[in-house]
Amino acid sequence: MSTATDAHVRKAAFDWLAEQVQLHGDVLPRSILAQGFTYEGNRVPLVGPQGIFKPRILDIPLSITTIPSGPYDDGYSPDGLLHYRYRGTDPKHADNAGLREAMRRKIPLVYFHRVVEGKYLAVWPVFIVGDDPGTLTFKVEVDDASYVKYENAGEAVPISTEEARRSYITTTVRQRVHQRAFRERVLQAYREQCALCRLRHEELLDAAHIIPDTEPEGEPIISNGIALCKLHHAAFDRQFLAVRPDYVIEIRRDILEENDGPMLLHGLKEMHQKKIILPTASEHWPNPNFLERRYQRFLKAATL
């Protein structure tokens, strides 16, 4: 395949991914990724059974996938780069050789990280920037799409290889992985509905931290989260409402006394003294100690 065709297919893949993220957010169902898109009559899936994936239309891999707790211990190194494991132990395996060629030619790929079963965070473009046969790993950096252009010859090349920029972007991706994994686990626990109003449109749902993630105990664990719609998440964060340790909703007194139309009445005031919807598994229920700490902050805010 010519470099021009390769680059055109990759650009089409990146454009298609951008459209899917606009529709679904940056965590995408595997079913969509496995179906892929059509390029000049050819179906181009973006994932396959193996972590290093090359659709039939290409000669060089299009994507790499990390599955936590899978057979390969992908992870981040102290230098801030993603270390991606070889397929198997043979450096000459076709998949490993394909990534090595992508590194030599500076070809961009897509990186998928499974955050929960069947859902993947999509990140692109990423570049293979190192190869260590001794540890059977490749080094991977994430870049900003605006720093990648497509030459007249068709080959995709980075405009800048500034290490500081890529290191920073790669670090932010690591943070996004943790944030998206937390969100997806919490929403699954609450059966994809707001714990207050039962809204089920996933695009309008968030995983609200009880103890903020900026604090030492604000860990991204299900018992430190509550699935809330965007309205109730904002109200929770602004201390308009609280969830007591007995899982009962309490609306701030001054809000209860306001008269401001049907949204305030039905969206907040009617929630007062009702119990939240809880996950099926009791180990996923909000930690009462966390709720008590949060409730004390709510009481303090109510007196200001």
Same domain, residue pair 165 and 211 = no
Same domain, residue pair 48 and 175 = yes
Q: Of the ranges 124-128, 263-267, 295-299, which one carries the lowest mean pLDDT score?
A: 263-267
Beta strands 137-142 and 119-132: pairing type? antiparallel
Pick the last residue of a domain from 165, 183, 201: 183
- Give the model's pLDDT for residue 75: 72
| Higher-pLDDT residue of 145, 175 | 175
What range defines the domain where residue 13 resides? 3-183
Same domain, residue pair 25 and 157 = yes
Pick the last residue of a domain from 183, 199, 226: 183
Same domain, residue pair 178 and 209 = no
Closest CA to 65 of 28, 140, 26, 120: 120
First to last CA, the chain: 68
Q: Concatenated DSSP letters for 149-161?
A: EE-TTS-EEES--
Please, which pLDDT band fits residue 294 given cuts at 50, 70 and 90? very high
Please, which pLDDT band fits residue 4 given cuts at 50, 70 and 90? confident
Same domain, residue pair 254 and 280 = yes
- Give the model's pLDDT for residue 152: 41
Same domain, residue pair 16 and 154 = yes
Same domain, residue pair 178 and 195 = no
Please, which pLDDT band fits residue 153 given cuts at 50, 70 and 90? very low
What integer is the mean pLDDT of 63-75? 76
Q: Is the pLDDT reported for residue 155 higher than 60?
A: no
| Average pLDDT over the chain, rounded to an integer | 88
Same domain, residue pair 177 and 222 = no
Distance between CA atoms of 62 and 52, rounded to whole angstroms?
A: 8
Pick the last residue of a domain from 128, 160, 183: 183
Beta strands 82-85 and 137-142: pairing type? antiparallel
189-198 residue pLDDT tens:
999 999 999 9
Beta strands in 117-245 (DSSP E): 119-132, 137-142, 148-150, 156-158, 205-209, 225-229, 241-243
- If DSSP codes are grouped into helix, strand and coil, which group holds residue 90? coil
Contacts of 153 (CB under 8 A, 6+ apart): 3, 4
217-254 residue pLDDT tens:
888 899 999 999 999 999 999 999 999 999 999 999 98
Closest CA to 127 of 142, 148, 144, 146: 142
Beta strands 119-132 and 109-116: pairing type? antiparallel
Q: How many domains does the chain have?
A: 2
Same domain, residue pair 219 and 99 = no
Same domain, residue pair 219 and 270 = yes
